[in-house]
Structure 1
């Protein structure tokens, strides 16, 4: 029998019992304080790097969510046609849509939404993710049963149409400090990264994890209150690492839940409407400034080869220059793509290339 789906927040849903350690007591108090609304989860959607897949991702949430939820959708600078469609879809389901003039970073978007949250759990999702049936209840059940502050699902990567026949991007992971002769180093490794999900599915088990990914992650509101707002200076790669470190620092655990399966949907080339935001999002100077700040914040030995490699390859794959690479070679293609992205990012930052600036107010009964 297919699971029940929830597009609109339920007002009289059945309470899910809380099991686990004493760290869940305040969560239970939150439930008891709101006897007329037992919705446990608020979903916060933020932009990642593009807009064209946002409607597909939003529809996927409504099609697969199997628990009552509230949603706060934060948009900034997307094309008006896309924004209007998202706004209509979100509000028709009784949720909150917030549009900010200009582009917003993922952490800024999350910080905009957090003051409106009054449920025990928050699920952060990017605007380019698709979901398997049961993903939401699996995350909540894991948090209820383990007392976790953060729960990370099985995150796949690839074209949405091929899910679940995709590669694993993150299935829990290791994220630790190690002391070296040079100072404190950071070791990071994703579980089962690049492995076939269908081949490794039976090996995936619930366990504690050191790392999460912001593609999709469940956070306990109590933990978010302990760690404070997200750092607005982290505009590159380490926003989720910063959150994981702060969670561990304040005594919370992170768990990996294998039965919650989602996919970061890639495969489509950028459209001209997305290019300015994409290039600004992955601007080298901006990202590397944020990385240097992060390493200094946590007193770590700087090591940027992984980040530079990501910028190089991610930007190259986003543009349709395979023909150029066949003719001119890989090195020239990378150089050309990098120069193009940096130029577009510069024009975007000085407002020569402008996002859609039309704001929309906070709306829906959830925000009243």
Structure 2
């Protein structure tokens, strides 16, 4: 009799919906370790949800649909309810995979008794071989309430060939990211679930620190390689979620929560401006493709300056409008195995 899978993959929306099917195709093409799969859809357009339901029937995964836009940490906690086995591997829905990406993570966790294991993270097209992070470090210093905090993504933006050979080895580190993160399920009994006060950012830093504080270890395993495909392009239907996900309001609330939780100086919240610039850059990269060539470089720069002034106002109005229409949290479950889906309670949890 076959043993039950040791791993549950919990896949959640990072910042858009339009890459989910491509990512799932890559997942099933490159994953040869048996695992349960739970995909948490955060109120994507109904046609995309219907396609996900059909895919779940083909592949036999559990598809969970939340009735409103929620943060990735909230979605991870929902997916965690349906997890089985010894490990959970958290994945974003814009990841592409390479052959045998999962086995090295499990082997590392088994051999090192690791609480968390992350792969070599690339970003962009796989053939470009651009490093996003080869393990990471973080450091707190100073007096509580005015502490400084720094983090490092090792070899960020370097070509893989520029990373020293002796650094491309399994090793302990401080942080891994939720693009792909294998976590021992027993860890949640020690440290609890994901902190839903972190709406936009710092989620991986917080969870890694909580694991380290509990005496667990975090490992980088470069034999596993994934790449995440950041936008653009966007589908038009991606934009409301993207704008909320990286909104000034959610970012300010997140950074304030993180700073308070770890005694970091209050000015840490000023990072909101950095997140805003990133959001605007991604949006304008999409917009500029539709600008007439007659504008030229000078005209394009002028349009960009206007956009940068107007966009925060539109962002704030969108967030306020969504808050007015926000329903209580609920979700529905579709089991691609053909089993009847449990009815959600009023709070969304399965009975």
Question: Structure 1 length as normaliser, TM-score?
Answer: 0.82
- Does 1:183 pair with 2:146? yes
In structure 2, the partner of 1:350 is 324
Equivalenced residue count is: 328
Does 2:277 match 1:312?
Answer: yes
Q: In 1, Cα distance between the equivalents of 2:331 and 2:145?
A: 48
Pick the aligned partner of 1:48 from 14, 17, 22: 14
SS of structure 2 residue aligned to 1:236:
coil
Residue in structure 1 matching 2:245, options 274, 281, 287: 281
Counterpart of 2:72 (choices 83, 89, 106) is 106
Q: Cα distance, 1:363 vs. partner? A: 2.3
Q: Secondary structure at the match of 2:226?
A: strand
Candidates 44, 47, 55, aligned match of 1:89: 55
Query: How many angstroms does 1:110 deviate by?
Result: 1.1
Alignment of 1:29-44 (within 5 A): 37-44=3-10
**Quick one: distance in 1 between partners of 2:274 and 2:185?**
35
State the SS of the aligned residue for 1:273. helix
Matched, 1:295 2:268: no
Distance 1:181 1:73, change over 3 A: closer
| Matched residue, 1:33 | none
* Residue 134 (structure 1) shift: 1.2
| Inter-CA distance 208–314: structure 2 relative to 1 (3 Å threshold) | same
Partner SS for 2:48:
helix
Structure 1: runs of 5+ lacking an equivalent = 1-10, 13-36
Change (3 A) 1:221 1:125: same
Query: Could you tell me which residue of structure 2 aligns to residue 338 of structure 1?
Result: 312
CA distance in 1, matches of 2:306, 2:21: 35
Shift of 1:155: 1.0
Q: 1:182 to 1:93 in 2, by over 3 A?
A: closer
User: RMSD between aligned alpha carbons?
Assistant: 2.5
Q: What TM-score results when the alignment is normalised by the length of structure 2?
A: 0.86
CA contact (8 A) 1:107 1:235 kept: yes
Alignment match, 2:300:
326
The runs of 5 or more residues in structure 2 that have no matched partner are 343-351
Q: Which residue of structure 1 aligns with residue 158 of structure 2?
A: 195
Pairing of 1:33-182 with structure 2 (within 5 A): 37-158=3-124, 162-179=125-142
Q: CA deviation at 1:362?
A: 4.1
**CA apart distance, 1:224:** 1.9
1:76 positional shift: 1.9
**Alpha-carbon distance change, 141 to 212 in structure 1, aligned in 2, over 3 angstroms:** same
Change (3 A) 1:180 1:329: farther
Question: What is the SS of the residue equivalent to 1:73?
Answer: strand
Structure 1 pair 44–239 and aligned structure 2 pair: CA distance change class (3 A): same
Secondary structure class of the residue paired with 1:183: coil
Instruction: Check the 8 A contact 2:201/2:251 in 1, yes or no.
Output: yes
Q: C-alpha displacement at 1:93, in angstroms?
A: 1.7
Does the 8 A contact of 2:251 with 2:275 survive in 1?
no
